[in-house]
Amino acid sequence: MLSYCHGLTNHLIYQMNVIAIISIWFTIWTGLGLLFFFKAIRANWREPVFHHPILIFESDDWGPGPTEHADALNKLSKTLSGYHDKSGQHPCFTLALQLTAPDPKQPLTTSGNQLNRIDLSHPDQAPVLSAINAGVADKTFSLHLHGLEHFRAETLLEHANQKEGIFHWLTSRAETESLPPMLQTRWNPIAHHDQTRQARVDTKSAYDEAKLFEKIFSHPAQVAVPPCFVWNPNVEQGWQKAGISVVVTPGCRFDQRRDDGTLSRVSGAIHTGDLSPTGLLYLVRDRYFEPYLGHTAEDGLHALSEKTAQGRPTLLETHRANFIRSAEHNQHALEHLKIILTEAQKKWPELRFTNTWNLAQAIRTGDPQWICFDTIRRIRIWWHRMESVPRWRKWLLVSGWWLVSRLMKEKI
């Protein structure tokens, strides 16, 4: 009997030791997880959860161009007008506009050290401007500020004086897409310039081009899309003073594009609904619809499925190059656009179309018709979002929280 009691005691001690070790392991890894993932946990919880699937097409680089661009815009608007959601809203292409281009007749001043520009209000641009305004009237287009132009003029002129290819670009009416990648950035810092002076110049330039947008379209710009997603706080100040309150981001901020074309990241993760220090609302656009680059309808539908599961809106990035390179490229892009819209509405009957500005307003006001406040659903969506955070799944497995994750999926 004594031997049995002794054995039982040892067994209990063994079990208690095992439980203690597991508890210590679980506690340590939980603490490490909270420490390592705290920002992601908080950000993904605070980010709004949307009731319905939401689809917006964000199309960059439109601006002054030949009448063929107007034809492409008219075809695009006509295609979009053939679809609508349950509320009657057509799919929306937001056009991020570069407001000017070098004057094709005389791109340089007589001194050769400044650009001659034409903007969208120039008589030669009447067909393009008319197509843009017609799409806005039909609610298939919504307008964003991309910038005065898709490059920093000082840097472009410096290269034009040094490289024959850049000078040829200025005089050949070529599109900005054909410039070297390092030059396709509006707010790239200028080497050897006084930073304090440059900060003032950037703020004033950002303000002035937003005001030019207002002059051309008779209403203020509300949304900015930085070219190549390179911008800085001084630019934000200029935008904010001119009435812009929303900035579209790729989920972070870059401060320059290097000579090899790569981007220099200077911020942590940005989430939809975050506010900048100047009070601008950030939105995230990190999925693509670029048929001429191989991002097809299938990719767009996959992005919509992924974002919908995460309670997020789907903002698909696309560029005018898909629609203006040739008649074949235009037709190819429109066919894939039709596939996305047709298949998306079949799979998600509750799909909502809107524009970026209205989406931002729903976030700012916490509109219950768009934003979900149900705690149980928010927890489920939050957990699903966390599963896309790098190393989160590995931490779940190592810490033992994978079991909790499995139970949550079954019960919630």
Contacts of 19 (CB under 8 A, 6+ apart): none
Residue 344's Cβ-count burial label (10 Å; 0-12, 13-18, 19+) is buried
Distance, CA of 177 to CA of 185 (rounded, Å): 11
If you average pLDDT over every residue of the chain, what do you get?
A: 88
Q: Are 264 and 258 in contact (CB under 8 A)?
A: yes
Tell me which range, 8-17, 18-27, 272-281, is most confidently predicted by mean pLDDT.
272-281
Looking from the CA of 359 toward its CB, the CA atoms found within 13 Å total: 34
> What share of the chain has pLDDT > 90, as a percent?
65
Task: Kindly report which listed range (16-20, 96-100, 276-280, 342-346) carries the lowest average pLDDT score.
Answer: 16-20
Q: Which two tokens stand for residue 130?
A: 């008319």
H-run or E-run covering 89: none
Model pLDDT, residue 400:
57
CATH class in words for 54-365: alpha beta
Tokens of 55: 């689809």
Residue 396 identity: L
pLDDT score, position 348:
97
Angle, vertex CA 125, rays to CA 123 and CA 131, nearest 5: 125
pLDDT at 201 over 80: yes
Which range is least confidently modeled, 21-25, 140-144, 146-150, 266-270? Answer: 21-25
**pLDDT score of 87:** 95
Q: What is the pLDDT of residue 24?
A: 66
| pLDDT for 337 | 98
Nearest CA-CA partner of 141 in 220, 80, 194? 80
Q: How many CB atoms lie within 10 A of CB 55?
A: 26
State the chain's maximal CA–CA distance in angstroms: 111
Give the pLDDT score at 165: 75
* Phi, psi dihedral angles at 248 (to 5 degrees): -90, 130
263, 88, 89, 64: which is closest to 176 by C-alpha? Answer: 64
Q: Give the 3-state secondary structure of 344-374.
A: HHHHCCCCEECCHHHHHHHHHHCCCCCECCC
Contact 360, 246 (CB under 8 A): yes
pTM: 0.89
- Checking if the pLDDT of 228 tops 90, the result is yes
- Which residue reads 């509109």 in tokens? 367
Residue 283 has pLDDT above 60, yes or no: yes
Domain ranges of the chain: 2-47+374-411, 54-365
